[in-house]
Chain A
């Protein structure tokens, strides 16, 4: 049995490139990703290698994931794990070899647009919940307690974070649009 270790780390949706870079750095130290969980990464100790990692968010029906992963496999990408709709792939880095999974601006833009919409929708839903339990619903709004106030603050914070994410993603979309000109 080889040495394994679990690392807890939080990445946000708009930080997938940071996450990919981090995984490559781990592989360079001989820690190879074996399993992905919710903010938990399981690594196995091995030889240091130059590995490219890519995260792909599979949008669509769950049963199509197999087809998607087969396509990646055919093109030289090894599937490592998944969390929600995110699929983790790896490939041994070869100098000068093409190693992007999204090769044109249109597909990058499409992927960003999906996450912007998800982020915005959940953000708005949270904001509505916050307004509801703070002002709108007479029963809940009059519920005054230390715990309830903390809960309200938490919901507001989550919604703020999601709006922050929406703006971040929108900025990257605008940058891509600019490249078209």
Chain B
């Protein structure tokens, strides 16, 4: 997989939600829950991102425990996708570590 810049927020949360097999609807519910409704991803954005991630080899189709409807496509991270998630997490941690030393939160 080619080296890429920072992931978009939507892409990051999608990867986060795909550590276990999940379908689009399940991903949305999970993202809404863990971000307490702060992050909302539109269906078009989600569908497009899933297609892109599958093409790049970051996710692959899988079988979901509650896959009653075959029109609901289920995905899970590949090893590459997992690396991508961890790399991005570490990058953001570095950004936070750097920022915590120099961002002045109380504006004068």
Bound-state CA distance A109–B41 (Å) is: 15
User: B20 at interface (Cβ–Cβ under 8 A)?
Assistant: no
How many residue pairs, one in A and one in B, have C-beta atoms under 8 Å apart? 73
User: A67 at interface (Cβ–Cβ under 8 A)?
Assistant: yes
Bound-state CA distance A83–B49 (Å) is: 23
User: B64 at interface (Cβ–Cβ under 8 A)?
Assistant: no
Q: Shortest distance in angstroms between B54's beta carbon and chain A's nearest beta carbon?
A: 10
Q: Which of chain A's residues 50-93 have a Cβ closer than 8 Å to chain B? A: 54, 56, 59-60, 66-72, 74-75, 77
In contact, B42 and A102 (Cβ under 8 angstroms): yes
Chain B's interface size range is 20 to 34
Binding site secondary structure of chain B:
helix
Q: Shortest distance in angstroms between B74's beta carbon and chain A's nearest beta carbon?
A: 10
In contact, A71 and B24 (Cβ under 8 angstroms): yes
Given the complex, which residues of B lie within 8 Å of A66, measured CB to CB?
A: 71
Q: Which residue of B lies closest to A68 (CB)?
A: B47
User: A117 at interface (Cβ–Cβ under 8 A)?
Assistant: no
Chain A residues with a Cβ under 8 A of chain B: 54, 56, 59-60, 66-72, 74-75, 77, 98, 100-104, 106-107, 110-111
